């Protein structure tokens, strides 16, 4: 074996291991490619892989959306079936044969009544769903002004508007929130209502800025608890009441809820 000077060997090692050693390699050789260089073929492969990944993500997203639509359709069908079962009872009386409406379901009015009270109770249940319930809902927190707020809700003018808003909320269907401001005439003490900025929406409403004579707000939660509806005030309801400094009245299938700040005392005229 021929002798090589160690100093020369060390110099050659450093020469070929320096960061820009690729400049000294023969053109076209693998060593002549600078660090981080990617072959154009590999670039095309990576672009194709990225496109395939994006297509797979989109396909998974569409699959999840389709599954959600399927679940929603099932819930809608079950809900409509329950409404149908509540509206009609197998024991409900039918019109006698020979009449123009013979064989059709009858409400039992006009002197004929069902054998039991199931049909009438079902009708009463639907009617009750469309009437507001002033009684405080379960879980209502104690308040010093509970009696005062209850008196406001039972005021004939306010109660009529509550009934209208509850019926307009479609409590037997998919539900649409409605609400209004409750105001008071300081000179006479008369209670009246003013509309919200946004009268109603499928999931939420936009009350807007409260009027200067407003003493409280009212809105509905018509969605049933068994279908995911929350009967009591939500966190957003509590926060909005705190920002406006006015108490809130909320009607749901469970009853009436009172929340937010305490009712302000009546101002002197």
pLDDT tens readout for residues 105-161: 554 444 444 444 444 444 444 444 445 555 666 667 788 999 999 999 999 999 999
What is the spatial distance between Cα 47 and Cα 50, in angstroms, rounded to a whole number?
5
What's the mean pLDDT in 45-68?
A: 87
What is the spatial distance between Cα 197 and Cα 167, in angstroms, rounded to a whole number?
20
What's the mean pLDDT in 82-91?
A: 58
pLDDT digits (tens, 9 = 90+) for 168-182: 888 887 778 899 999
Band of the pLDDT at 164, cuts 50, 70, 90? very high
The phi and psi torsions of 39 (rounded to 5 degrees) equal -65, 140
Structure confidence at residue 104 (pLDDT): 56
CA angle 152, 149, 224 (to 5 degrees): 95
CATH 3.10.170, domain 133-259, yes or no: no
Cα separations in angstroms, 214 against 21, 51, 163, 196, 265:
81, 58, 20, 11, 12
Structure confidence at residue 230 (pLDDT): 80
What's the mean pLDDT in 205-215?
A: 90
Cα separations in angstroms, 82 against 65, 133, 173, 202, 227:
26, 22, 11, 21, 12
The yes-or-no verdict on residue 91 having pLDDT over 90 is no
Q: Give the percent of the chain with pLDDT over 90.
A: 27
- Listed by start position, the domains of the chain span 92-129, 133-259
Band of the pLDDT at 103, cuts 50, 70, 90? low
Strands (E), 96-204: 177-184, 191-201
The phi-psi region of residue 224 (left if phi > 0; otherwise alpha if psi is between -120 and 50; otherwise beta) is beta
| Token output for 155 | 């005021």
Name which of 52-56, 204-208, 258-262 the model is least confident about: 204-208
């Amino acid at each position: 074996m021929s002798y090589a000077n160690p100093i020369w060997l060390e110099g050659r090692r450093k020469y070929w291991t320096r960061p820009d050693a690729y400049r000294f390699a023969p053109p076209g050789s693998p060593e002549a490619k600078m660090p981080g260089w990617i072959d154009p073929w590999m670039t095309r492969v990576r672009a194709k892989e990225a496109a395939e990944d994006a297509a797979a993500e989109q396909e998974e997203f569409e699959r999840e959306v389709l599954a959600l639509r399927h679940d929603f359709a099932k819930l809608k069908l079950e809900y409509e079936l329950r409404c149908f079962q509540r509206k009609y009872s197998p024991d409900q009386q039918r019109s006698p044969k020979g009449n123009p409406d013979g064989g059709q379901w009858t409400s039992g009015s006009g002197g004929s009544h069902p054998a039991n009270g199931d049909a009438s109770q079902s009708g009463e249940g639907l009617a009750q769903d469309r009437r507001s319930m002033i009684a405080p809902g379960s879980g209502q927190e104690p308040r010093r002004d509970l009696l005062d707020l209850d008196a406001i809700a039972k005021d004939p003018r306010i109660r009529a508007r509550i009934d209208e808003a509850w019926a307009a909320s479609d409590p037997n269907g998919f539900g649409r929130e409605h609400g209004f401001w409750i105001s008071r005439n300081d000179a006479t003490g008369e209670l009246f209502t003013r509309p919200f900025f946004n009268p109603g929406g499928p999931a939420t409403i936009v009350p807007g800025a409260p009027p200067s004579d407003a003493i409280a707000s009212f809105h509905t939660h018509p969605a049933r608890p068994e279908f995911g509806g929350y009967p009591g005030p939500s966190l957003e309801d509590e926060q909005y009441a705190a920002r406006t400094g006015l108490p809130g009245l909320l009607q749901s299938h469970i009853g009436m809820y009172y929340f937010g700040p305490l009712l302000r005392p009546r101002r002197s005229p």
